[in-house]
Amino acid sequence: MTASTKAPNWGSLRKLFWPIHRNEYRKFIPMLLIYSLIVFNYSILKAAKDALLITAPGSGANAIPYIKVWAIFPMALLSTLIFTRLSNKYSRDQVFNIMMVGFLGFFFLFGFILYPMREILHPHVLADQLQHHLPEGLHGLIAIFRNWTFTMFYVMCELWGTIIMTVLFWGFANEVTSVNEAKRFYAILGVGANLGTIFAARVGIFLSGEYLFSRFSFGSDRWEQSLMLTTTMILIAGLTAMWLYRKLSTNVQHREAFAEPGPQSNEPEVIKMGLRKNFAYLAKSKYLLCIAVIVITYNLCLNMIEVVWKDQVHQIYHYAADYNIYMNKVLGYIGILSTIFAVFICGQVIRRFGWTKSAYLTPIVMLLTGGCFFMLTIFREIGFIGSISALLGTTPIILATFFGSMQNCFARASKFTFFDVTKEMAFIPLSKECKLKGKAAIDGVGSRLGKSGGSLVYQCLLIFFGTISLSTPYVAGIFLFVIVAWLLAVKSLGKQFNELSASKEKLTIPDKKESPRLKENPALS
């Protein structure tokens, strides 16, 4: 029996805050630092991309549904294909480095070359002509064409969260972590991510503020300076994460150096497959389909709420730097709330109540907070809400925006803790091949399918109604329907996960030529 499997003689505080064995430090601490740096970049990019695109000339929140369908979704397919091909040809460490260099190289190019040349590169005259002749509902599509370099930046920021954070990091973490370790590791990894978010928020506010620009100014304006400094921080964090990843791989000698002994060491060789076969994997397994439904429905719900909320924020903050500061403030509160959830709630709930009840929390939080936000938004013009706004010394739009920000904080905090932890735990009882191929399809494309699905709904509504405000009541009805589908998928997956964990089997997706012992458990198919 190894040290990690013995009953630990820990006090109550140690069990709560740091349930990590000393012999696990060489694996866990580098993982914690790498994840924190990746999330730092994700958070600071998240605020910057919205501020850049939504406040751009001729643009607004109505551009988001179009960019997610016509730019992000195709690029998600392409990036997943590239990841699959690289995984079939190179080692895990080489794939990590190649993808990181590609992303960091683009951010350097944008921050120091493309953005300063934006007025030369953007086709404003042609876009103005198109906007004059096309319906109002298509103005968002014209905006992503008009500001095409901003569109590229927005896409790469989105893909950072999908490819670098979700597919590469969590794919690595799931490969080297057992179910028992995950119950102790993942909640603390969530704390590291939250600290990265809080730090990113403070950095974003400082870099976009008047104080720094008044004392140390360069570039054409405050926002251009902020983008250059933000790019520099992203490069530093990304290169540091690459260095730590290399040290981790060198110290622990990949998975074999710290894998727990057991059946998984006797797994068959990985079958190399392309993108089409990744999707075929999902169609063959009820288990993977349930994970895909959970990922898709989460992104559908979040996308439906965020477009309305960001449109309201834009009505209050028109300048990019000010918009960025506000979004970073929201990110800071998300990080604080997520830390509270992760430290005091998440790990304890998972260990005490199990996977299924923990996975239910995120859709329930989304339902309650999202329902309140839509109610305030749809009925903000009625006298009752107007009276409350006057009593509080504000306006209905500011009140609705505040509740939208609060909704985003609670939804994101539950996502970064309960949703991410339970989703990643669901991959652990899979064979190595299922983890790699199924995760690439679900996280690389499934999340984009959810966001693109929500964006397609918005596009149809915008064509009919012209504005986001007029479309909101219909979005709210679709939102409730998607929440119900999410809850049903959690119920089904929870039953399958518990059966697999209890049997200590590894779920595999069989090919017709594979031996009978590799077939999926019939009870889960």
Closest CA to 59 of 139, 131, 168: 139
User: Which band of pLDDT confidence, cut at 50, 70 and 90, is reported for residue 510?
Assistant: low
> 367 near 485, Cβ under 8 Å?
no
Please state which of the ranges 154-168, 327-341, 432-446 shows the lowest mean pLDDT: 432-446
The answer, yes or no, to whether residue 392 has pLDDT greater than 80, is: no
Question: Rounded distance, CA 446 to CA 79, Å?
Answer: 13
Q: Which residue has the tokens 């996960």?
A: 497
Is residue 310 within 8 Å of 50, Cβ to Cβ? yes
Of 8-12, 347-351, 352-356, 388-392, the one with minimum mean pLDDT is 8-12
- pLDDT class for 12, splitting at 50, 70, 90? low
Nearest to 147 by CA among 54, 46, 272: 54
**What's phi and psi for 291, nearest 5 deg?**
-60, -45
pLDDT at site 245: 92
| pLDDT at position 509 | 60
For residue 259, what are the CA distances in angstroms to 24, 179, 418? 11, 12, 25
Lowest mean pLDDT among 137-141, 256-260, 348-352, 410-414: 256-260
pLDDT of 274 above 60? no
Amino acid letter for position 409 = C
pLDDT at 412 over 80: yes
Mean pLDDT of the chain: 83
- Per-residue pLDDT at 498 exceeds 80: yes
Q: What is the pLDDT of residues 331-367, one digit of tens each?
A: 999 989 988 887 778 778 888 888 999 999 999 999 9
Range from 70-74, 169-173, 291-295 carrying the lowest mean pLDDT: 169-173
Tell me how far apart the alpha carbons of residues 208 and 213 are, in angstroms, rounded to a whole number: 8
- Residue 260: the pLDDT is 47
pLDDT in the model for residue 77? 83
Q: Which pLDDT belongs to residue 257?
A: 44
Mean pLDDT of 286-300: 90
Which distant-in-sequence residues (6+ apart) come within 8 Å of 376 by Cβ? Answer: 385, 399, 400, 403
> 83: Cβ–Cβ under 8 A, 6 or more apart, which residues?
95, 99, 163, 167, 440, 444
Average pLDDT over residues 418-444: 79
Judge contact between 92 and 172, C-beta under 8 A.
Answer: yes
CA dist., res. 10 & res. 7, Å (int): 9
Domains in the chain, ordered, with CATH? 25-256+273-524 (1.20.1250.20)
Residue 97 has pLDDT above 60, yes or no: yes
Closest of 42, 41, 47, 40 to residue 313, by C-alpha: 47
Work out the percent of the chain whose per-residue pLDDT is above 90. 43
pTM of the predicted protein model: 0.81
Could you tell me what percent of the chain has a pLDDT over 70?
86
> What is the pLDDT, as a whole number, of residue 184?
81
- Residue 395 confidence (pLDDT): 82
pLDDT value of position 391: 77
Tokens 């329902």 sit at which residue?
371
Three-class SS state of 430: strand
Please tell me the predicted confidence (pLDDT) of residue 311.
92
pLDDT of 267 above 90 = no
pLDDT at 252: 60
Candidates 312, 356, 395, 324; CA nearest to 490 is 356
pLDDT band at 276 (very low <50, low <70, confident <90, very high): low
* Residues 236-255, mean pLDDT to the nearest whole number: 82
Flag the least confident range among 56-65, 254-263, 378-387.
254-263
**pLDDT band for position 277 (50/70/90)?**
low
Q: Which amino acid is at 97?
A: N
Q: Residue 507 — φ and ψ, nearest 5°?
A: -75, 130
* Selected residue with higher pLDDT from 89 and 431: 89
Q: In which residue are the tokens 């933000």 written?
A: 230
Alpha-carbon 482 to chain mean position: 19
409: left (phi over 0), alpha (psi -120 to 50) or beta: alpha
Residue 194, pLDDT score? 83
- Please give the average per-residue pLDDT across 132-147, as a whole number: 92
For residues 180-202, one letter each, b for 16 or more C-beta atoms within 10 angstroms of the residue's C-beta and e for the rest, the string is ebbbbbbbbbbbbbbbbbbbbbe
Please state, in angstroms and rounded to a whole number, the distance separating the CA atoms of residues 308 and 377: 9
Other Cβ atoms less than 10 A from the Cβ of 318: the count is 10
pLDDT of residue 216: 79
Residue 279 token pair: 């999707």
Mean pLDDT, range 7-34, rounded to an integer: 78
Q: How confident is the model at residue 271 (pLDDT cuts 50, 70, 90)?
A: very low
* Chain segment 170-188, per-residue pLDDT in tens: 888 877 777 777 778 877 8
Cβ 259 vs Cβ 265: under 8 Å = yes
pLDDT for the residue numbered 270: 39
